[in-house]
Structure 1
Amino acid sequence: MAGTPTNRRTMRLLLVRHGQTPSNVAGLLDTGHPGPGLTALGARQAAAIPDALSERVIDGIAVSNLVRTHQTAAPLAEHRQLEPVELDGFREVEAGDLEMSDRHEDHVVYLETVFAWGGGNLTRRMPGGPYGTEFVARFDDAVAKIASRGWQTAVVISHGAAIRSWTSIRAEGVDLDAMAYTPLENTGLVEVEGDPENGWHYVGMSAGPLGGHVLADELADDPTGESVAEERADAES
């Protein structure tokens, strides 16, 4: 990963997308609580995280209130002997009227909405769901809560659209087009550094599974981690 550390950066956030779920495979916009658990592949993706992060110092682990993040965090938590902190602010961007849709047209609306937020249009609303202002406020609140714990490096197991949208909104140095058009696969990683008061700086992204390409699923129709361009192409085909 490439980055430009500065002296004022005080914390690292390793924002990791959860492992694969049946809804990821089926192409469903499944954002509700408690949500599905992991597939067999998702469990293997989660099991690979401890080795993938073996050279990183980790002070704490946070998860959302959705089942899939707890299951993804479990192998790392056991390996590091850390108790994950649940913060519902790290949950996925609610799909509203698009919930459980498998239509690519709806996937495009969903992704274009979250990346409109990343481009600064926080007053845009997910159809039947939150405004960008509501999403970023609750994600910011969750980040502030883990920052208050004094952790220098935290692993946050969250969700594809939420991670990419929040990073685009809050982190300096993000290429917004790259963030929108690069798929973030299950257990992919986005890294930022900084703090809630002084702001965040983008360090980099490992878009594929942390355990390597062997843990990718090329056939899954995965709406919340997908590239905007690929969903548009599927919608038009």
Structure 2
Amino acid sequence: MATLILVRHGRSTANTSGVLAGRTPGVSLDERGAAQAAALPDRLARMELAAAVSSPLQRCQETLAPLLAARPDVPLHTDDRISECDYGDWSGRKLAELADEPLMTVVQQHPSSAAFPGGESMRGMQARAVDAVRDWNARIEAEHGEDAVYAMCSHGDIIKSIVADALGMHLDLFQRIHVDPCSLTVIRYTRLRPFLVRLGDTGELTSPAPRESASGTDAAVGGGAGAP
């Protein structure tokens, strides 16, 4: 199946001001985030991308803009299912003040039971994001073959929840995963299981996921030789 490159959006004005942006409109990349986005074409220069899929939110669209300008052959698709978590009444509030909310302890320790007032549950967030990945894997493979690679630009909690699913981790453990702004996370999906190849990489990707076995679905016993 396809190989997915998950791109977290570049640093945003909400990130630097300590605000939980959620789906608040008008949240853009800050100066550093714009520089991170500008570096993305070089970091992915060796990747043959079949497509790019983006959250509809401005900060993700801005993150992909330099890449798509440099690679006009790569089609862009927007998918609402990989939009930021709907934090409901928490959206736009300072993280420092949210830290005192009783629900924050649940979000940190038992996220599978957390539901944001006026928003969605974290369990629902993960379900829609994973459904989107499964659908795009099938579409990309059908249109471009099983060796195809595509990029998906989304948000921190969305990416962490997709990684947790790929690792077979319960959602209650997903807060142990960390992805920086504009970091790259690579998951190679196969018929039998996914392989997490990169997590939160901030450098250049030099090759697609290595295939260590003839079937492409076996783990590299002993660690393998790495990418060619």
Deviates more, 1:130-139 or 1:35-44: 130-139
Distance 1:190 1:153 in 2: 12
Q: Deviations over 1:6-31 (max 9, x none)?
A: xxxx2111111001111110010001
2:34 counterpart of 1:40: no
Alignment pair present for 1:192 and 2:183: no
Aligned to 2:53: 62
Q: Unpaired runs of 5+ in structure 2? A: 205-228
User: Could you tell me how far apart the structure 1 residues matched to 2:7 and 2:180 are?
Assistant: 10
Q: Under a length normalisation based on structure 2, what TM-score does the superposition of the two structures give? A: 0.73
Alpha carbons of structure 1 residues 93 and 30: separation in structure 2 relative to 1, 3 Å: same
**Letter of the aligned partner of 1:25 in structure 2?**
T
Residue aligning to 1:223 = none
> Does 2:140 align with 1:140?
no
Call closer, same or farther: CA 1:136–1:23 in 2, change over 3 Å.
same
Alpha-carbon contact 2:8-2:156 (below 8 Å) kept: yes
- The 5 Å alignment of 1:148-227 reads 148-150=139-141, 151=144, 152-168=148-164, 170-172=165-167, 180-181=175-176, 183-194=178-189, 198-207=192-201, 209-210=202-203
* CA distance 1:90–1:35, shift in 2 (3 Å): farther
CA distance in 2, matches of 1:12, 1:114: 30
Q: Percent identity?
A: 27
Choose 102-111 or 124-133, whichever is displaced more: 102-111
Conservation of the 8 A alpha-carbon contact between 1:47 and 1:76? yes
How far 1:52 moved relative to its partner? 0.9
Q: What is the total number of aligned residue pairs between the two structures? A: 195
Runs of 4+ in 1 over 3 A off after TM superposition: 107-112, 114-117, 173-179
Aligned mates of 1:84, 1:78 — CA distance in 2: 11
Aligned CA RMSD, in angstroms, stands at 2.9
Unaligned stretches of 5+ residues in structure 1: 1-9, 212-237
Q: Which residue of 1 aligns with 2:107?
A: 113
Q: Answer yes or no: is the 8 Å Cα contact 1:115–1:165 preserved in 2.
A: no
2:72 is the alignment partner of 1:98: no
Larger radius of gyration: 2
- Are the structure 2 counterparts of residues 78 and 98 from structure 1 closer, same or farther at C-alpha, using a change threshold of 3 Å? same
